[in-house]
Amino acid sequence: MENISLALELMVVGMITVFIILMIVIQLGKWLIMGVNRIAPEQTVTHKRQTPTPAVPAADARTQAIIRAAVDRITGGRGQVKNIERLP
């Protein structure tokens, strides 16, 4: 009988705790969305080009993006690609 009352107590306490924690997580999520939207809304990426450059073929642009991603991964984000030149 004692164990049954313990089980009932655990059921009530457990379910209330799980509901409260998830409600807090939901509310926390809402606050975080509001906070992030206000403080750090995603910036639109603008491509400023100071000097006119010749149009880059699509394949080259893709290759450049792959090289940049590879360098970023290998150097753990510390390396930067400044210039990519095709060797003769």
Partner 1 sequence: MEQFTEILNRLYQMTAFSNIVENPAFLIMYALAFVLLYLGIVKKYEPLLLVPIAFGVLLANFPGGEMGIIQADSEGYVTLADGTKKLIWDMPLHDIAHELGLMNFLYYLLIKTGFLPPVIFMGVGALTDFGPMLRNLRLSIFGAAAQFGIFAVLLIAILMGFTPQEAASLGIIGGADGPTAIFTTIRLAPHLLGPIAIAAYSYMALVPVIIPLVVRLTCTKKELMINMKEQEKLHPSTTEIKNLRTLKIIFPIAVTTVVALFVPTAVPLIGMLMFGNLLKEIGSDTSRLFDAASNSIMNTATIFLGLCVGGTMTVEAFLNLQTIGIVIGGFLAFALSIASGICMVKIFNLFSKKKINPLVGATGLSAVPMASRVCNEIATKYDVKNHVLNYCMASNISGVIGSAVAAGVLISFLG
Chain contacts with partner 1 (rule: CB under 8 A): 3-4, 6-8, 10-11, 13-15, 17-26, 28-30, 32-33, 36-37, 40-42, 72-73, 76-77
Q: Which residue number, 25 or 66, has a Cβ lying nearer to partner 1?
A: 25
Name every residue whose Cβ is closer than 8 Å to that of residue 68 and which is 6 or more positions away in sequence.
81
Q: Which residue number, 32 or 65, has a Cβ lying nearer to partner 1?
A: 32
Shortest distance, CB of residue 61 to partner 1, whole angstroms?
20
Consecutive H or E run containing 3: helix 2-39
Q: Which residue number, 33 or 84, has a Cβ lying nearer to partner 1?
A: 33
Shortest distance, CB of residue 20 to partner 1, whole angstroms?
8
Please tell me the distance from the alpha carbon of residue 80 to that of residue 69, in angstroms, as a whole number.
10
Altogether, the residues listed in the chain come to a count of 88
Please tell me the distance from the alpha carbon of residue 48 to that of residue 44, in angstroms, as a whole number.
12
